[in-house]
Amino acid sequence: MDNFNFYSPTEFVFGKDRESECGEYVKKYGGSKVLIHYGGGSAERSGLLGRVRESLNKSGISFVELGGVKPNPRDTLVYKGIDLCRSEGVDFILAVGGGSSIDSAKAIAAGVPYDGDFWDFYSGKSIEKALPIGVVLTIAAAGSEGSGDSVITKEDGMLKRGAGSDVLRSKFSILNPALTQTLPAYQTACGATDIMAHVFERYFTNTTEVEITDRLCEAVLITMVKETPRVIADPDNYDARANIMWAGMVAHNGLVGVGRSQDWNSHGIEHELSALYDCAHGAGLAVIMPSWMEFVYKHNVMRFCQMATRVFGCQMNFENPEATALEGIRRFRSFLHSIGMPINFAELGAKEEDIPALVEKFGIGSGRTGGFVALSAEDITEIYKIAAKASL
Ligand code: NZQ
Ligand code: ZN
């Protein structure tokens, strides 16, 4: 196991009706003028925003609002948010929604105290200061409620890029699983895929002797394999929703990845798909992640056998470990398909002829990425090609 620091300062407020306490938590963390930042309307339609306003009013906290965050959130709304916070003297941002609203809130939070263009942070500049943020989560997926990361798309050229800093971590995150019951099955499945991908990006490591984090990863993955079909079949199953919502946080606040090298190439390769086609991040991952696995599994066949046997219940074939590794990957892909995810370019709405443009935008030139297996542009091309033609 490698040396590590683990920092996860967010207060998680979990359970039924907890959103009605958001005013108290804003107060606890020093907010007096709030920007409520939300998405395209689901939070208004469900009545959630009404309850959030009521709670803020009850705590004597004034607020302004900015809705309209799109999935794959755009820089254009971030600029609007920064202007609004400055002109209204906002000192706390409350994101109500999923990863997109939270990431947009984080970008605004970093941009308000910064003199330059906030996009600098998404081009490599480190973030030293940000307004405090809080979260009321409505979808178990991105894990942004517990992470220090934010992913924003620059509208001009549709460049999707990430930034990260501990100052972006939410002061509190309210997780009421019942709020996710209004999600369409497709979004539920996209979220589940993203949660599993966050674990896999950490699971496929070159660090040895990491039993504790291996087992934590497997616990999250096994939970997702068990609970996701239950909520697809019965969207109102609170208990299954609750397990998934906590799994989404555990998968991405850093806990299951401490002390080990990580990968993240599947995420990078997917981000180019969601930038180009504006598809859901989880759907893009369903197409990319098993394809990446097929491309790299020979690097450490036994690690893939471990996944196959412990997570997907495969029998170990000691004469032919490669067969076990491949069976694990096949079961993963077929699980994704069973929950309604696309598994190839055609099902995602992507085009094979765009592969050179996708690789170009990925932007590594003649270099290589880091990770479990360092990839060249040719390798990434190959992974997109596998993804284009994947079948069960
Ligand atoms: O906008 P509204 O109307 O709210 O609709 C949303 C949106 O259409 C809908 N939705 C959310 N909660 C709902 C609901 N519909 C009905 N009932 C509810 N309770 O679901 C759609 C997707 O929402 P979004 O916030 O985009 O989902 P998600 O949480 O998957 O976030 C995706 C974004 O997060 C980024 C992704 O790249 C993508 O841009 N990521 C952020 C990470 C981070 N900050 O740590 C890590 C991830 O790997 C990921 O890259
Ligand atoms: Zn993700």
**Same structural domain for residues 157 and 276?**
no
Tell me which of 267, 281, 285, 341 to substitute to probe ligand 1's pocket, judged by most ligand atoms within 8 Å of the beta carbon: 281
Q: Residue 190 in contact with residue 141, Cβ under 8 Å? A: yes
Cα–Cα distance measured from residue 41 to residue 372, given in angstroms and rounded to the nearest whole number: 40
**Same structural domain for residues 15 and 141?**
yes
Alpha-carbon dihedral angle through residues 92, 98, 104, 110, given to the nearest 10 degrees: 50
**Same structural domain for residues 110 and 233?**
no
pLDDT in tens, the chain (392 residues): 999 999 999 999 999 999 999 999 999 999 999 999 999 999 999 999 999 999 999 999 999 999 999 999 999 999 999 999 999 999 999 999 999 999 999 999 999 999 999 999 999 999 999 999 999 999 999 999 999 999 999 999 999 999 999 999 999 999 999 999 999 999 999 999 999 999 999 999 999 999 999 999 999 999 999 999 999 999 999 999 999 999 999 999 999 999 999 999 999 999 999 999 999 999 999 999 999 999 999 999 999 999 999 999 999 999 999 999 999 999 999 999 999 999 999 999 999 999 999 999 999 999 999 999 999 999 999 999 999 999 99
Q: Which atom of ligand 1 is nearest to the CA of 194?
A: 48
Q: Which atom of ligand 1 is nearest to the CA of 190?
A: 30
pLDDT for the residue 216: 98
Angle at alpha carbon of residue 262, lines to 215 and 339, rounded to 5°: 65
What is the distance of C-alpha 118 from the center of its chain? 21
Which residue range is the domain that position 219 belongs to? 185-389
**Same structural domain for residues 172 and 238?**
no
Total tally of structural domains belonging to the chain:
2
Residue 2 lies in a domain: no
Burial of 27 (0-12, 13-18, 19+ CB in 10 A): middle
pTM of this structure: 0.98
**Same structural domain for residues 172 and 208?**
no
pLDDT for the residue 121: 98
List pocket residues of ligand 1, CB cut-off 6 Å: 39-43, 71-72, 97-101, 103, 138-139, 141-144, 147, 149-151, 179-180, 182-183, 187, 191, 194, 252, 267, 281-282
| Ligand in nearest proximity to the CA of 280 | 1
Token digits for 215? 């087992």
Q: Which atom of ligand 1 is nearest to the CA of 38?
A: 4
DSSP annotation of 74 reads: B
pLDDT for the residue 37: 98
**Same structural domain for residues 189 and 175?**
no
Token digits for 10? 């967010």
Tell me which of 69, 127, 151, 201 to substitute to probe ligand 1's pocket, judged by most ligand atoms within 8 Å of the beta carbon: 151
**Same structural domain for residues 21 and 84?**
yes
pLDDT for the residue 249: 98
**Same structural domain for residues 19 and 71?**
yes
Cα–Cα distance measured from residue 119 to residue 96, given in angstroms and rounded to the nearest whole number: 23
In this structure, which residue's CA is closest to atom 7 in ligand 1?
A: 71
Residue 6 lies in a domain: no
